[in-house]
Amino acid sequence: MIKRLRSFVLPGIALGMLLFSVYHLLFAAERLPKVSPLVEPPHKALASVICGTGLVEARTENIAIGAAVPGTIMEVSVSQEKVGQQIEKGRPLFRVDDRHLKAQLKVHRASLKSAEAELGKLKQQPRLEDLPPSAAKVKAAEANFQKMKDQFDRSVPLFQRKVIPAEEYTTKKFSLAEAEQKLRQSEAEHALLKAGAWLPDQELAQAAIEVAQANVEQTETEIERCLVRAPVDGQILKIDVRPGEYVSSAPGKALVMLGDLTRLHVRVDIDEQDIPRFSSSAKAAAVPRGTTNLRHELKFVRVEPYVTPKKSLTGDNTERVDTRVLQVLYEIQPGTEKVYVGQQLDVFIE
């Protein structure tokens, strides 16, 4: 009996091993079941044919305000707490260093004053105190002339009578002529004095005033340029400037970002390969990233007619430009969950 059992030991072990290996085969190779993602990715909101990435922006687009002149920031009139607040047009935002301009303004103003004084002086001529001596000079010359005339008149009969020689007569005659000319000279000088400043001189002085005036105004404008103001009514989206910083006037550097947030737009990049399928009348919807069940209905605003090279949506402007996109603007219908300017949305267009 034991012997009989013994002959079943090996087949028994073999059967056991076989079952074990079948078990191993069945369960070791078990393929892990499919699971759904931790966060369900956005499903297509519509039975859509085009998808694009949209960037939320203000209705006015986002106005990036920079400095007109390079320089050090002297003061920032809108503090960081003001971000997000409504400001009116013309409100000062920040001021670039303008001290040298102010100094220059003083110089120009002084020049102006000097020019004006010069003109005034010309306009005051002749000086009253100069007239009496001049008149006296005329009178003296006249008196001298009368004296010479009298002497000459006396000598004429004498000469005819040969009382006096011809030489004396001639001397008396030329002395009279000299006295006459001297009288005329003093009369002319007096008349010149009395006439006052010459007109062209006055005009010159007037021009000098205008030059000085222009200099003053230029400097004032420069100073005004240093003070940057809000160009439109809107909300401050971002302030990226602090007193003491040096700013350049290079383009693309937004020190303060302004925008009208009463309505938000979405700028959707549509791949150039999808352009033929795009229709402005198609329904569109946007899904914010990070959520999957929120959906914003979009209203078509306009198409940017120029197909632009795709720009970075990640904020890095050195991103490789390898494709061109059609930019389409949509308005986000109000009343839905808050979205923020600069937020990326997945946009689905029917």
Residues that bind another protein (CB under 8 A): 7, 10-11, 13-18, 20-21, 23-25, 28-29, 31-44, 48-53, 269, 271, 273-274, 289-290, 310, 312-314, 316, 318-320, 322-323, 325, 346, 348
Q: Which is nearer to another protein, 161 or 338 (CB)?
A: 338
Least Å distance, CB 47 to another protein, is: 8
Least distance in angstroms from the C-beta of 39 to another protein: 5
- Classified as helix, coil or strand, 195 is helix
Helix axes 99-124, 199-226, angle to 10 degrees: 160
Buried b / exposed e over 328-345, threshold 16 CB at 10 Å, is: bbbbbeeeeeebebbbbb
**From the CB of 343, what's the least distance to another protein, in Å?**
13
* Cβ at position 342, least distance to another protein in Å: 16
Cβ distance to another protein smaller for residue 233 or 350:
350
- For residue 136, how many other CB atoms are within 10 A of its CB? 12
**Which residues are bridge partners to 236 per DSSP?**
258
Residue whose CB is less far from another protein, 49 or 204: 49
What is the smallest separation between the CB atom of 265 and another protein, expressed in angstroms?
19
In the complex, the smallest distance separating the C-beta of residue 40 from another protein, rounded to whole angstroms, is 7
Nearer to another protein, 46 or 341 (CB): 46
Which C-beta is closer to another protein: that of 221 or that of 308?
308
CB of 303 to another protein, least distance (A): 17
Nearest to 60 by CA among 234, 280, 238: 234
Within 10 angstroms of residue 105's Cβ, the number of other Cβ atoms is: 19
Residues with Cβ within 8 Å of residue 80, at least 6 apart in sequence: 239
- Decide: 264 and 59 in contact? Cβ < 8 Å: yes
Residue number, 233 or 271, with CB nearest to another protein: 271
Output phi, psi for 209, to 5 deg: -65, -45
d(CA 298, CA 228): 35
Residue 70 near residue 255 (C-beta atoms within 8 A)? no
Other CB atoms within a 10 A radius of the CB of residue 349 amount to: 27
**Residue indicated by tokens 């925008």:** 259
By beta-carbon proximity to another protein, the closer residue of 108 and 310 is: 310
Least Å distance, CB 17 to another protein, is: 2
User: Closest separation between CB of residue 56 and another protein, Å?
Assistant: 16
Burial 173-191 (b: 16+ CB within 10 A, else e): eebbeebbebbeebbeebe
Reported in sequence order, the residue ranges of the chain that DSSP labels E, i.e. its strands, are 50-58, 63-65, 71-76, 86-87, 92-96, 227-229, 234-239, 246-247, 256-259, 264-271, 284-288, 296-303, 308-309, 324-332, 344-349
- Are 65 and 46 in contact by the 8 Å Cβ rule? The answer is no
- Nearer to another protein among residue 169 and residue 278 (C-beta): 278
In terms of CB distance, is 38 or 128 closer to another protein? Answer: 38
Closest approach of Cβ 19 to another protein, in Å? Answer: 8
* End-to-end alpha carbon distance in the chain: 83
Nearer Cβ to another protein, position 16 or 90?
16
